[in-house]
């Protein structure tokens, strides 16, 4: 059984220290039909934003894809998920539990994490929930600007079973100007239950 064609892991990206799990994840992708289109940037630090996020399956396929690539991507998720039985599995895979009641302090914490590490890729779902939202969370822009790291766009499309790497964008510090420009990039793609509002 051949593994799906995936872009090579860039030398500067943070790598997973395993051969077995990436191999198994590639087998799962082959069986499922999911693919990744585009090239990963050769950068030691970035924020990766994925949308539309409309199903728990987004997290499942995203996790399989990240492991298959062999890239160590830290993922911000609800703290409640890690407090449950899945926490034993998810914490070693780079999941960072976020208390949404203290969301105002999260950007500063993530900026500090970036400052302390030589390599760090941080994955965020900017919608912040699986439900339709009129406004995206601004935290990813604040983190990117504060840590001076680029934002890698990642488009989910269920009809074609693809993750597509879009353009790298840079936060200017003006959230009101940056948000609509970035959000517009996601409109052509459809999640499991909806597209980007």
Chain-wide mean pLDDT for the chain? Answer: 88
Q: Which pLDDT tens digit goes with each residue over 126-174?
A: 887 777 777 898 999 999 999 999 999 999 999 999 999 999 999 999 9
pLDDT of residue 1: 44
Q: Which domains are seen in the chain, by residue range?
A: 20-184 (3.40.50)
Banded model confidence at residue 179, pLDDT cuts 50, 70, 90: very high
Residue 53 contacts residue 78 (beta carbons within 8 Å): no
Extract the tokens encoding 11.
Answer: 């030398």
- In this structure, is the dihedral angle defined by the CA atoms of residues 168, 173, 128 and 78, taken in order, positive or negative? positive
Nearest CA among 197, 64, 180 for reference residue 129? 197
pTM of the model: 0.87
Residue 147 contacts residue 110 (beta carbons within 8 Å): yes
pLDDT of residue 197: 63
pLDDT of residue 3: 46
Residue 77 contacts residue 59 (beta carbons within 8 Å): yes
């Amino acid at each position: 059984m051949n593994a799906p064609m995936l872009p090579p892991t860039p030398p500067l990206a943070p790598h997973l220290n395993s051969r077995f799990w990436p191999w198994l994840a590639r087998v799962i992708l082959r069986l499922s039909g999911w693919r990744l289109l585009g090239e990963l940037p050769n950068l030691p630090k970035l924020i990766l934003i994925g949308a539309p996020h409309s199903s728990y399956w987004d997290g499942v396929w995203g996790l399989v894809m990240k492991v298959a690539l062999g890239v160590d991507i830290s993922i911000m998720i609800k703290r409640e998920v890690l407090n449950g039985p899945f926490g034993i599995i998810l914490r070693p895979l780079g999941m960072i539990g976020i208390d949404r009641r203290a969301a105002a302090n999260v950007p500063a914490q993530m900026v500090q994490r970036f400052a302390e590490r030589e390599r760090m890729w941080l994955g965020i779902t900017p919608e912040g929930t699986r439900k339709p939202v009129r406004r995206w969370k601004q935290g990813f822009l604040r983190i990117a600007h504060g840590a001076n790291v680029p934002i890698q766009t990642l488009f989910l499309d269920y009809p074609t079973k693809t993750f597509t790497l879009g353009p790298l964008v840079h936060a200017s510090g003006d959230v009101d100007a940056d948000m609509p420009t970035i959000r517009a990039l996601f409109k052509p793609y459809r999640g499991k239950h909806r597209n980007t509002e």
